[in-house]
Structure formats: C-alpha cells, structure tokens
Amino acid sequence: MRDLRGRPWATDIGLALLVQAAMTMPFVVPRAPDLPPATWTAYGLTTLTVVPLVWRRRAPIAVLVAVLATSALYELAVDGPGQPLPYTGLVLVHTIASLSPRRTRLAVLALLPALITVSVWLNTRSARELSFSLFVFGAAYALGRLSDTRQRYVAEMAAARERARIAREMHDILSHAVSLMVVQAEAGPVAVRAAPERAEAAFEAISGTGREAMVQLRRMLGVLREEDDAPRVPQPGPADVPALLERVRHSGLDVSYDVTGPARALPPDLGTTVYRVVQEALTNTVRHARAGSAAVRLAYGEGEVEITVTDDGRGPAGGRTRGPAGGHGLAGIRERAAAHGGTAAHGPGPGGRGFQVAVTLPLAREVTV
C-alpha cells in the first residue's frame, strides 16, 4: 500500500467519505413511527456539512464557518434525524489544534465554549448534552495537540538520524582519503631519493585518492541540496570494494580479498554499510596499525552477511582500541551495524596477533534505531 502522506487530497477526500458514511446511518436506520420521515432535503443539507472537510487543511477557519452555517441551517430549517456525535466539528477542531498557528488555535479554543452552547441551545437545550459536548470537543482539541507534538518529535528524530548518518558518511570519506594521502605524501620524499619511479606512482595515488574523495563528497552534498531535481548518484556498495582495496594497496599495504557464499544483491543502504565498514576498518589499519598486510573477507550466509577485516599490525596494545579521532571510527562502525540490527566487534586478531574488526548484518529485515 502506498503512503498517502504525500497526497493530502486523497487523505482528506477519504476522511470526508468516512464521515459521510457515519452521518448517513441515521437516515437508513428505520425511525420510530411517531417521528417524521427522513427526507432527501435533510440528507442533502447533511452532505453539505461534510463536503467542506475536503479543504480542512488549506482553509480550516473558512471550513469551520461553512460547517457552522450549514449545521445551523439544518437545525432551523428541517426536522431531520439527529447525529449521535458532531463528527464534522470534532474533525475540524482536531485539525485546527494540530495544524493551525498558535494564535489561530487559541482563538478557536476561546470561542469553542460559546459555539457549543449555541449549538446545544438550538438542539436540545440539555445540560447533559452541553457537558458531553464540552468534553468531546475538549478531547478532540487535546488529541490534536498531542498529534502535533508527536509529529514534531518524529520529525526531529528523523532529522537527528539523518544528521548522524551524514556525519558518519563524511567522516568515513574524509578520514579514509586523508589517511591514504598522508601515507603517500610521507613516503614521497623517501621514494624520490631511493626509487624515483615509485615517487611518480605515489603522487598519482595521492591525486587519484583526492579525486575519488571529491566525487564522494559531491554525492553527499547532492543529498543535502534542497532542489528536487538534484542528481542522485548511487552510493558505493560491495561491487566497489575491489577498487577501494586497489587504492589502499597504493599506500603500501598488501590487502587480500575473499568472498564466500552465494553473493547476492543487497538493499542500497545495506550495501553502502558493507562498503563503509571495510573502508573505515582499513583506514584504521593504515593510520594506526603499522601493518604490512590486511585481509578482507565478505561472507554471505542464508540470513546474514559478515564482514571481517584483519591486519598483522600492532593490535590493541598499540592504541588501536580507540581508533581515529578519539573513537569515532570504530564507534561509527558500531552505529552502522546497529542501524541494520547487526553487531560489531573488534579486538586482537587470530592467535592474539594484529587487529580484527568483525561485523554481522542481517539480510532478512531492516531495523532503524
């Protein structure tokens, strides 16, 4: 079923039809013999009180005035069936409380008791109906405010998650690129003196890494643009891991790559997480491990995919437990895994040598926290 939140017209028309169905019931249920029969005129006026609900979001005050006018005409001009609940009024009060500016909704709240009193006087002039009407309209207003509060909270949480996601992406892109460029730049002067042919390759690697970082940053900035027609370039995934490893090899780290299990297409977000985990783990290795080699393993299981990155460097004893920038790298890996309902662990490699990062991501479902 498609989400109707982006189509308010369809939602409002559906709500109006639902209210119309509820208000039709007193006209189709057999009436007592001592009561006058329901007429088409009465039913037509009932429909006129419902139709304005289609415009309730765009002009709630105008719709409220129209509904009050048609309701008063119904009470004064015809002797039709009554309604068990003031459906249209309740919908409008809820709408005004949840969507209107503060000044508008407070003005309506101040006028509501007087409007309810006049309506009851035109109908039954009963204290019981007056107290009941005040209660249900007050409840509709309170629920409208609660709905607005909830929507604001959900929007703020979504914005916070998006900011955290973008921060992780920017950190991974810049940390990886800068680390490789620093390693190549530090090796450049040595290569110029000892092996000039290697110096040229080092500078080409710096240039290539910088260009790749610019491409990925443009992708991220494209996501932040407000224009609806901004291009959306796909984020990297498992298919881009070999190219990533090739860039890392230019820094002097010997990286092997092994894929086990039947490879399959992953959802875009999950595929990007696989790529970023490998990227960040190798960035840690380049910056902190003083390793000569690393092994990347991607294992597809029946319901999960496992990413393991192991190096032969200094291991936890060399300060690897914190990772770059005070822990943002490894913390980012954990956050990425948790966003998909997965797990992340790091520590000594096999036999206590080196350092290993292991991440398990479920394939069956997506979980957002």
pLDDT in tens, 142-201: 999 999 999 888 888 888 877 777 777 777 777 777 777 777 776 666 655 666 666 666
What's the confidence (pLDDT) of residue 145?
92
pLDDT higher at 157 or 224: 157
Torsions phi, psi for 307 (to 5 deg) = -115, 125
Spatial contact of 324 and 344, defined as CB atoms under 8 Å apart? no
Does residue 225 surpass a pLDDT of 90? no
Question: What digits encode the pLDDT tens for the residues 66-122?
Answer: 888 888 888 777 777 878 788 898 999 999 999 999 999 899 899 988 888 888 887
Domain boundaries, the chain: 8-125, 156-362
Does residue 294 surpass a pLDDT of 60? yes
Range in 31-45, 86-100, 255-269 with the lowest mean pLDDT: 31-45
DSSP secondary structure string for all residues of 264-332: ----HHHHHHHHHHHHHHHHHIIIII--SEEEEEEEE-SSEEEEEEEE-S--GGGTTTT-GGGGHHHHH
- Multiple choice CATH, 156-362, 3.30.70.260, 3.90.25.10, 2.60.120.330, 3.30.565.10: 3.30.565.10
Does residue 51 surpass a pLDDT of 80? yes
Pairwise CA distance, residues 169 & 165, whole Å: 6
Query: DSSP 3-state assignment of 39?
Result: coil
What's the confidence (pLDDT) of residue 304?
93
Q: How confident is the model at residue 290 (pLDDT cuts 50, 70, 90)?
A: confident
Pairwise CA distance, residues 41 & 34, whole Å: 20
- Mean pLDDT for 232-243 is 81
How high is the mean pLDDT of the chain? 81
Is the pTM of the predicted complex or chain greater than 0.85? no
Instruction: State the Cα angle at 35 between 31 and 36, rounded to 5°.
Output: 100
